[in-house]
A = this chain, B = another copy of it.
Amino acid sequence: MEEVAVIGAGQSQFSRNCGVSIRELCFEAFKEAMQGLDITTKDIDASITCSAPEYDKQRTPSGLISEYLGLTPSPAFYVESVCSGSTTGLRVAYSLIKAGLNKTVAVIGFQKMSEISSRDAAERMGRGGDIIWEAPFGITMPAGYAMYAQAHIDTYGTTEEQLAKIRVKNASYGAKNPKANYRKELTLQECVTSEPVARPLKKFDCCANADGASCVILARADIAKRVTKIPIWVIGLGSATDTMTMSGRKSLTGLRCAQEAARQAYEMAGVKPQDIDVAEVHDCFTIAELMAYEDLGFATAGQGTRLVDEKQTYIGGKIPVNVDGGLLSKGHPIGATGGSQIRTLVRQLRGEATEAQVKDPEIALSHNIGGVGQYANVTILRR
């Protein structure tokens, strides 16, 4: 069967309030993804749009954005799995191409969270969980991840300082990423003394809402080889779910869906955790990045903190993670986040990330989580 490659990836500036319409926001990401490709919009024969619909005034934005990008009458539709939507979109685009239904597919993720108030945003995010049995009792995102953090502390003796070190690392890379919303380095002291949000998580343990868009363009092997100098091959895809309620989970020290998605992706790619040269993980909270180290097999359960203390997830360490600053620095425009991870990995694999480049990476991994651990996608790319 034909292989599938990422031929282009881009993102808009991530910001608190983009001040433009969603179509213009998406165009910014599309424009970067198309840069340097020997194709026109006529060659893109399908598009997939990903966002979390509760933040959009426009319903079913797929057709609107597709038309603005000049892709009509090619098929356009909407794919969503909350915060992991745009890597689900990538999975679908890969499938459409492999199935022979399409040849070149654009996956456009976006979110314009500034359209509603922060208070409304927090409430609506809670509805991503179970609206009958948990959301009414206050399981918003910070509350949910605070329970994971407390469980990790109780079970493994993890400290709040160790969590803060993850933010310090990501802030150091975020400061170098011109497309991140927060580009300020942070000290350990600033992180551990920041105001509480949901104990033990403090302000700097949490990512923030943002406006932003991402775009990943996939193509069939023959086209990929013709239209770009460095195709980035999709070699592993894993996807899984867990219970909607947190109370239904077997464990709160890791995400079962991420463990299962990683297992599938490693198996499909025929690689092991130690083969990964650079990773983007879903650090919506510092604890989420720590759990990702363990769920992805970069460390055994409870030992992720050793990677933190030894600085092994910095560039030069065993497994550099979130060298674009992660969600913690970039901000988290829900539907755009997975695509932004893929863009970072494509730039790393092509050696284009001059601001913070890992040395000669060959294999890269994205870990993208939806909800409070309900959905996980793991994607493995190869240069």
- A128 shortest CB reach to chain B, Å: 5
Is the beta-carbon distance between A54 and B53 smaller than 8 angstroms?
yes
- 226-243 of chain A: CB within 8 A of chain B: 237, 239-243
Q: Does A82 contact B (CB under 8 A)?
A: yes
Taking CB atoms, residues of chain B closer than 8 Å to A79 are 77-80, 92
Q: Does A144 contact B (CB under 8 A)?
A: no
- A46 shortest CB reach to chain B, Å: 8
Contact of A241 among B1, B75, B242 (CB under 8 A): B75
Is the beta-carbon distance between B58 and A375 smaller than 8 angstroms?
no
Q: Of A60-68, A106-114, A274-282, which binds chain B?
A: A60-68
Once A92-B92, A127-B59, A132-B21 are accepted as A-B contacts, the answer to whether A241 and B73 lie under 8 Å apart by CB is yes
Proximity bits, A124-135, B CB within 8 Å = 1, else 0: 100110111000
- 115-146 of chain A: CB within 8 A of chain B: 124, 127-128, 130-132
Once A67-B243, A244-B67 are accepted as A-B contacts, the answer to whether A124 and B94 lie under 8 Å apart by CB is no
- 244-283 of chain A: CB within 8 A of chain B: 244, 248, 256-257, 260-261
Determine the distance from Cα of A243 to Cα of B66 in the docked complex, in whole angstroms. 9
Is the beta-carbon distance between A241 and B74 smaller than 8 angstroms?
yes
Taking CB atoms, residues of chain B closer than 8 Å to A243 are 67, 72
Is the beta-carbon distance between B92 and A57 smaller than 8 angstroms?
no
Q: Which of A1, A21, A72 has the most CB of B within 10 A?
A: A72
Is the beta-carbon distance between B63 and A375 smaller than 8 angstroms?
yes
Once A52-B60, A131-B57 are accepted as A-B contacts, the answer to whether A240 and B74 lie under 8 Å apart by CB is yes
Is the beta-carbon distance between A95 and B88 smaller than 8 angstroms?
no
Q: What's the number of copies of this chain in the assembled complex?
A: 2
Is the beta-carbon distance between B100 and A63 smaller than 8 angstroms?
no
Determine the distance from Cα of A75 to Cα of B94 in the docked complex, in whole angstroms. 15
Q: Which of A53, A77, A81, A127 has the most CB of B within 10 A?
A: A77
Taking CB atoms, residues of chain B closer than 8 Å to A39 are none
Is the beta-carbon distance between B127 and A1 smaller than 8 angstroms?
no
Q: Which of A59, A82, A131 has the most CB of B within 10 A?
A: A59
Taking CB atoms, residues of chain B closer than 8 Å to A127 are 57-59
Q: What class of interface size applies to chain A in its complex with B?
A: 35 or more
Once A60-B128, A79-B79, A237-B101 are accepted as A-B contacts, the answer to whether A242 and B73 lie under 8 Å apart by CB is yes
Q: Which of A21, A58, A132, A242 has the most CB of B within 10 A?
A: A58
Taking CB atoms, residues of chain B closer than 8 Å to A97 are 99
Is the beta-carbon distance between A99 and B95 smaller than 8 angstroms?
yes
Is the beta-carbon distance between A72 and B131 smaller than 8 angstroms?
no
- 13-59 of chain A: CB within 8 A of chain B: 21, 46, 52-54, 57-59
Q: Does A103 contact B (CB under 8 A)?
A: no
Determine the distance from Cα of A57 to Cα of B77 in the docked complex, in whole angstroms. 22
Q: Does A366 contact B (CB under 8 A)?
A: no
Determine the distance from Cα of A48 to Cα of B97 in the docked complex, in whole angstroms. 18
Q: Does A330 contact B (CB under 8 A)?
A: no
Is the beta-carbon distance between A76 and B375 smaller than 8 angstroms?
yes
Task: Enumerate the 6 nearest inter-chain pairs by beta-carbon distance, A residue then B residue, closest first.
Answer: A98-B99, A75-B239, A95-B95, A95-B99, A59-B127, A78-B80
Complex A-B: 11 CB contacts under 8 Å: A52-B60, A53-B53, A57-B127, A59-B124, A63-B244, A66-B241, A74-B241, A76-B241, A91-B96, A98-B98, A98-B99
